[in-house]
Structure 1
């Protein structure tokens, strides 16, 4: 109720600040590089990454420096990895669900997801978002039968330098509510883990966001 009331009260400011952010925030492209293939030597391992711009690697120039590249570099000396990246800037949970539904059924050992920021910018209530999340992971389990699903938490958008207050504060409240419900859900699943996006820790280690103040920088992906 508090979040709903806050949203209604702040609507005039949200409209003004939201338009300003869209106009002034630097739009970064998705990085170049292979999005599917086989790499490494060792025991076979299949990995699928799904989600939004953070999953796609926006904030760096090549996939080697993005989430996909970091995961592959950490595992390629121990595993022969069959990998696939299905992520797009701007995707909400609903659009990621559509992506999964359009993919052919096949087994992936590990599925990594990153989604939530675009649901927040559309002011999706945490309860509604969680219903979509449950649908997403049901689709993933049915379509890909993974041994492990790694879900990234929603970043604390109140710490994004590209966002002014009260817009940043409100988005931070949405993120907090989403992460709370997502955490409870993950704890109840036998094949899921939650990775928290700890921007405060990144700042303490002098790890920087991308130049637009809205996406992870190279060091954060590597970390």
Structure 2
């Protein structure tokens, strides 16, 4: 059905996509540190290894929509995780506006990646806009995970799901409908893959509401980043917790 709709609505979708690229408000990435260390308010009684966290992604991971990294994803996530776990968190952010899952592989090659046991990935919106096939999207993510497992020692991975592009205020109809359907297609492929891999976790973004977005009506606003960071910290802590047995 989606392929048929693309053929039928092709000229309209192309014209609207060009209009959106031309008229969209361009916001900068959030300013501030992209590496750091966050300590809990109450450190553990005995020495314990820090949690090493790596966040990889596109403009949403880079904090587009807010002014400072303190209000974005990676730094608040590290702070939440430090408080929840009672452990120091060493964190690193590798993100760039506009990258899709394939381009993220090149982005990683341009950075020195430190050791990381926990990986958070926020990629997918640009795979929608670049029409990345679902199977290729998953193949790119699998390669990214395998590379970081070998390079950084990653053991726990959380993927952010696709945002609700069907509610995207910046896009006119029927482009909004089409982007939403394609995002759901990629999100379904992502969740299917994650369900088969014990070390992977999924963080849904479907709760994000249009009126809480940034002023460009495309990226998360401060409240959405805060909620995203809290949810991800909870998922990570659950994965790090000792399993009964």
User: Above 0.5 in TM-score?
Assistant: yes
The answer as to 2:211 corresponding to 1:212 is no
Change in 2 beyond 3 A, CA 1:159/1:207:
closer
State the match for 1:20 in structure 2: 19
- TM-score, structure 2 as length reference: 0.83
State the match for 2:225 in structure 1: 221
Aligned residues: 218
State the match for 1:73 in structure 2: 79
In the TM superposition, residue 136 of structure 1 has moved relative to its aligned partner by 2.0
Q: Is the 8 A contact 2:165 2:183 kept in 1?
A: yes
Q: Is the 8 A contact 1:207 1:220 kept in 2?
A: no
The partner residue of 1:178 within 182, 186, 193 is: 186
Gap regions ≥5 residues in structure 2: 228-245
State the match for 2:235 in structure 1: none
1:85-124 counterparts in 2 under 5 A? 85-104=93-112, 106-124=114-132
In the TM superposition, residue 178 of structure 1 has moved relative to its aligned partner by 0.6
Q: Is the 8 A contact 1:157 1:172 kept in 2?
A: yes
Moved more, 211-220 or 37-46: 37-46
Moved more, 210-219 or 40-49: 40-49
Moved more, 151-160 or 70-79: 70-79
State the match for 1:162 in structure 2: 170
SS in 2 for 1:79: coil
* C-alpha separation in 1, matches of 2:17 and 2:112: 37
* C-alpha separation in 2, matches of 1:169 and 1:132: 25
The partner residue of 1:190 within 186, 198, 213 is: 198
- TM-score, structure 1 as length reference: 0.91
* C-alpha separation in 1, matches of 2:121 and 2:110: 17
In the TM superposition, residue 143 of structure 1 has moved relative to its aligned partner by 1.9
